[in-house]
Chains A and B, each alone.
Chain A
Amino acid sequence: MLIQDTALIYGRYLRQSLRSRFALLFGVLMPLLYLLFFGPLLTDLPLGGKGSSWQVLVPGLLLQLGLFGASFAGFAVIIEQSQGVVDRMRVTPVSRLALLLGRVLREATVFVFQAVLLVLAALAMGLRAPLPGVLIGFAFVGLLTVSLASLSYALALKVRTPQEFGPAVNALTMPMMLLSGLMLPMTLGPRWLDVLSHFVPFRYLVDAVRDAYVGAYATEHMLYGTVVAVLFAVLAVTVGTRVYRTAGA
């Protein structure tokens, strides 16, 4: 039942994404601009890691794509709430978990697709990275978007208006992006900033993907990154389902 229901909801929302091709491509624009106009600034700088500056920047941009994209996924729920679509589905016997999972998996599909486009553009700019590492990077993007989209949907059902939702998400994502070292490795900065960034879960993810992009798979970073990403996903989906089950006020 759960799998069938999830597949049904997933199909509905994937068709929705395919209907708006513009939105599908537009999501890549911001990270693409970083790639084009920020990436070249880094090529001759000492970033401290192995490999080229692209192997440091692209993992950060991939997670940035997931962070900003998936965090705003809840806007769609706010719209559907006002159209009555959310309630119409909730009065049917469909599994509550499927209502969340179907949508969340759609988000993961869309963002992994955008991540592929971004990596193709990066290859043209000069990125060279091992294929398994690149695939690991996509897996992290998928897990991150599942987590963030779940939380975003839960928040959207709680706050109800786009006027509250937008600022709330911005206030959370901006510091997350800066503190996790998505743009530049935190090890370049002062000690206090590096320490502070270890309290931000995305720090572990970006470190893991950077290792993957230089072909280092059995590292401490990879272990921590995987553990944090999986735990975060379990926690986020649990919170999301709980809110989906009880929300309605």
Chain B
Amino acid sequence: MPVISAAGLARTFQTKRGPVEAVRSVDLTVREGEILGLLGPNGAGKTTTLRMLTTLLAPTGGAATVAGHDLATDPAGVRRVCGYVAQSGGVDPQITVREELVTQGRLYRLPKARAVERALELARDLGLTELLDRRAGALSGGQRRRLDIAMALTHHPKVLFLDEPTTGLDPGSRADLWDLVRRLRDEQGTTVVLTTHYLDEADALADRLVIVDRGTVAAEGTPSALKLRYGGSIDATLQDTFIALTGRGPAPADAAPVAV
């Protein structure tokens, strides 16, 4: 029984210049406890797909279930079982780490005392204990990311969605974050779906990759299977594989990240 299954998921935006098909049709199956990497050029529809799977955006076509809850008929159920960290994060820089964590617990309907307790647990698990009374705006990039993830873990979600979690982090913080994601899966059995532009990250972290291009799934499989099939050999780089698949490099250096 897959923890996520999506069929023909689509989203068309109505803009002043006519309709834009951000996601044309995405089919996706994710097994429980899997770390799935969503890879694709800017504008491929990765963020839009995550926003649909987390109930932030209503699909204009297709259907999906997350941990047994249907996206269209039971969005409240989906919200209870999934955590989401947007690329921008989601904390107010003026508010302290403690207050944000406690508020998040309350938003997940924990009683006050339990929310305070949960904030301390999360801070301990994610190495934020020393920073509890600091304003979120005063944290380093890596600390901010850990806070964002702590917020998304408040309710022990079955599925965690991370949108470009390591963009802008230094190599040390990236390695810490990889360890954290693996630890979550190994210790809690959390399924993690993450988008990334970094092919080394996809290679090292993901059990399976889904390559999205022009709003649809271009290929999927383990990193080595993809290299063998599209890159020509198991020793091909993921970069070669990616270019063979999409006809472009993974992330043009000058392109700003697009969030839709």
Pick from B57, B83, B84: contact of A249, CB below 8 A.
B57
Residues on the B chain within 8 Å of A87, using CB: 51, 56, 84, 86, 90
A91 contacts B58, C-beta separation under 8 Å: no
- Closest B residue by C-beta to A92: B107
CB-CB contacts below 8 Å: B58-113 with A: 58, 76, 79-80, 82-84, 86-95, 99, 103-104, 106-109
Known contacts A84-B89, A91-B79; A248 and B56 CB within 8 A of each other: yes
B92 contacts A93, C-beta separation under 8 Å: no
Give 8 pairs: A residue, B residue, CB < 8 Å, sorted on A.
A83-B88, A84-B88, A88-B90, A88-B104, A89-B107, A90-B56, A93-B80, A246-B58
Known contacts A8-B103, A8-B106, A12-B103; A88 and B86 CB within 8 A of each other: yes
Residues of B in contact with A (beta carbons under 8 Å apart): 13, 51, 54-58, 76, 79-80, 82-84, 86-95, 99, 103-104, 106-109, 151
A85 contacts B106, C-beta separation under 8 Å: no
Q: Which of A16, A80, A83, A84 has the most CB of B within 10 A?
A: A84
A94 touches B (CB below 8 Å): yes
A88 contacts B13, C-beta separation under 8 Å: no
Residues on the A chain within 8 Å of B76, using CB: 93
A191 touches B (CB below 8 Å): no
Interface of B is mostly: loop
Q: How far is the CB of B163 from chain A (nearest CB, A)?
A: 10
Contact with B along A1-36 (1 / 0, CB 8 A): 100010010001001100100000000000000000
B89 contacts A92, C-beta separation under 8 Å: no
A82 touches B (CB below 8 Å): yes
Q: How far is the CB of A84 from chain B (nearest CB, A)?
A: 4
Known contacts A16-B94, A84-B86, A85-B92; A248 and B107 CB within 8 A of each other: no
Known contacts A12-B103, A92-B79, A92-B104; A85 and B91 CB within 8 A of each other: yes
B92 contacts A248, C-beta separation under 8 Å: no
B109 contacts A83, C-beta separation under 8 Å: no
Residues of A in contact with B (beta carbons under 8 Å apart): 1, 5, 8, 12, 15-16, 19, 80, 82-85, 87-94, 246, 248-249
Q: Within the assembled complex, what's the spacing in Å between the Cα atoms of A87 and B90?
A: 7
Q: How far is the CB of B99 from chain A (nearest CB, A)?
A: 8
Q: Within the assembled complex, what's the spacing in Å between the Cα atoms of A89 and B51?
A: 13
Residues on the A chain within 8 Å of B104, using CB: 88, 92
Q: Which of A1, A12, A93 has the most CB of B within 10 A?
A: A93
Q: Within the assembled complex, what's the spacing in Å between the Cα atoms of A88 and B76?
A: 14
Q: How far is the CB of B193 from chain A (nearest CB, A)?
A: 14
Residues on the A chain within 8 Å of B99, using CB: 15
Q: How far is the CB of A240 from chain B (nearest CB, A)?
A: 18
Q: Within the assembled complex, what's the spacing in Å between the Cα atoms of A89 and B91?
A: 10
- Closest A residue by C-beta to B103: A12
Q: Within the assembled complex, what's the spacing in Å between the Cα atoms of A91 and B99?
A: 18
Residues on the B chain within 8 Å of A19, using CB: 94
Q: Within the assembled complex, what's the spacing in Å between the Cα atoms of A224 and B93?
A: 44
B84 contacts A91, C-beta separation under 8 Å: yes
A83 contacts B91, C-beta separation under 8 Å: yes
Residues on the A chain within 8 Å of B56, using CB: 87, 90-91, 248
